[in-house]
Structure 1
Amino acid sequence: MSRVTYPPLDTLKQVAEELWLVDSGPMSAMGIPLPVRMTVIRLPNGQIMLHSPTRWSDALNAELSKLGVIGHLVAPSVAHWTFMQEWQARHPDAMTWASPGLRKRGAVKKSGLRIDEDLGERAPAIWSDVLKQRVLTGGFGVTEVIFQHLPTQTAILVDLVQNFEPERIAPLVRPLARMVGVVGPNGRAPVYYRFAINRNRAAAQAVARELVGQWRPERVLFAHGRWFETNGTARLQKSLDWLLD
């Protein structure tokens, strides 16, 4: 098992009431192993939302089935859709939601991924009582839809923050990770992601300021690395200093 991951893997871990995460991986990006994380939310109607689904397993599906019916699969960015079809195949009645522009990407078209609805600036009625959302749009087709779980004041991101613990990174890879800017305790988005977001800086900055200044999350979940379990707003402000300044 890769030391970058957060075992136990592919199993539910409760974060707060009606909110869970699933740690998985590793995945490979440019030859570097990455931990990945899914967020699981039980909506007021009892349906389950899988945010940035990780790999399928029978055991994980059995755990999820005890929570409720999987009704929504969410691809919140142009990068976080890889495992969607595994879940679609087993839950064909679940609606698939995707970040704006995902359906236009060549790899997505080639894969045959079904996308039912695009995510927008405002939460749809089905989850607006418990989730709010904003679209962060950069250049080069980069988009990420950020969420806040209102009952628990938990921000839910994917790549806007990456926070790798140095001791979990192979020594040969550590200098590259530091150069890219993703090493904790206050990791940032990788430098190439920041470059893309800065192509639309004014709009992205407004979203970041709302996230820190108005949403003020208690905790922050994201897809890669050690998430912020406490002091969410203060730690998020440090991680987003490149965009807030």
Structure 2
Amino acid sequence: MKRLKGTQMAREDVTYPPLDVLKPVAENLWIVDSGPQEAMGLSLPVRMTVIRLSNGDVWLHSPTRYNAELRREIETLGPIRHLVAPNIAHWTHLKGWQGGCPAAKTSAAPKLRQRPQVRKAGIRLDRDLTDSPPDDWGGEIEQAVIPGGAGFHEVAFLHRPTRTLILTDLIQNLEPEKLPLGTRLFARLTGVAAPDGEAPAYLRFVVRLRRKEAQDAVSRMIAWNPDRIIFSHGRWFERDGTANLKRAFAWLMG
């Protein structure tokens, strides 16, 4: 029993409970906090963003772990029609959601379908995302592809009605007090996670390999003038979105 309690406490220390439930952010915009997710030797909090489009369809960005209760809660908003895999890492929970939402279309970051792990997992990808949003959500959501070396791409989205920028890994904001000391030190020494509201060191390296194109994409994001920024790992930015965006990408734009 003590061991179970310790495990539960560790989950809550790292993550942002309550987990696997809808949390309202703004009109037609929610988040779902989940995790911890194991990545590159770390246990990280992870987050999904949920948007209800004007036609009633529901859009899931970076789906977190699937369970039927969460799916039913989301379906009270409307039918789940879109699953979005926004970069080369955030696709691992797609299969569960595809099974639970067979009518949903899956849209993926460029080159994701070419990754051996994705093919081996049998993930269905219905279309590749570009800098131009598809007609399904183009009236409400803008998007831009941030490229990098080694096949890296991340697609950024702006929910225009709420001026909310939605990223995945290009900004992380892991709160040191929520991480065990060993994890905190490992993250800083290896650069695999960012505790300061910017990209981790390894992503800064790969994005710099296509610096000019990445700068153009980030310039587009800054021009969107977002009020808030939601991302997958750590405490997201509830206010001062544009100022935080400029600060977070100073390593690229300076």
**Fold shared by both chains (TM-score > 0.5):** yes
Deviation, structure 1 residue 178: 3.2
Output one character per residue of 1:91-132: Cα deviation in whole Å (capped at 9) or x when no partner.
Answer: 111101000100000000111111111111111111111100
- Tell me the secondary structure at the aligned position of residue 124 of structure 1: coil
Output one character per residue of 1:69-97: Cα deviation in whole Å (capped at 9) or x when no partner.
Answer: 00011101011100001000111111010
Query: Share of identical aligned residues, percent?
Result: 50
Amino acid at match of 1:183: P
The question of whether the paired residues in 1 share the 8 Å contact of 2:144 and 2:220 is answered with no
Work out which of the residue numbers 69, 75, 100 in structure 1 matches 2:110.
Answer: 100
Q: Does 1:11 align with 2:37?
A: no
Tell me the residue number matched to 1:111: 121
Tell me the residue number matched to 1:140: 150
The question of whether the paired residues in 1 share the 8 Å contact of 2:68 and 2:100 is answered with no
Comparing 63-72 and 173-182, the one that deviates more: 173-182
Output one character per residue of 1:180-210: Cα deviation in whole Å (capped at 9) or x when no partner.
Answer: 26113xx211111111111100000111122
Q: Does 1:183 align with 2:192?
A: no
Tell me the residue number matched to 2:3: none
Tell me the residue number matched to 1:126: 136
Tell me the residue number matched to 2:244: 235
Aligned pairs (5 A) from 1:1-150: 1=8, 2=11, 3-150=13-160
Amino acid at match of 1:219: R
Output one character per residue of 1:139-162: Cα deviation in whole Å (capped at 9) or x when no partner.
Answer: 001000000000000000001100
User: In the aligned structure 2, how far is the partner of 1:174 from the partner of 1:99?
Assistant: 29
Amino acid at match of 1:229: E
Q: What TM-score, normalized by structure 1, do the two folds share?
A: 0.96
Aligned residues: 242
User: In the aligned structure 2, how far is the partner of 1:40 from the partner of 1:236?
Assistant: 21
- Tell me the secondary structure at the aligned position of residue 34 of structure 2: strand
User: In the aligned structure 1, how far is the partner of 2:103 from the partner of 2:34?
Assistant: 25
List runs of 5+ in structure 1 lacking aligned partners. Answer: none
Amino acid at match of 2:235: R
User: In the aligned structure 2, how far is the partner of 1:89 from the partner of 1:100?
Assistant: 23
Amino acid at match of 2:97: W
Amino acid at match of 1:234: A
Output one character per residue of 1:209-245: Cα deviation in whole Å (capped at 9) or x when no partner.
Answer: 2212x11110000000000001111112111111111
Q: Does 1:225 align with 2:234?
A: yes
- When the two chains are superposed, the root-mean-square deviation of aligned CA atoms in Å is 1.0
Deviation, structure 1 residue 176: 3.0
- Tell me the secondary structure at the aligned position of residue 181 of structure 2: coil
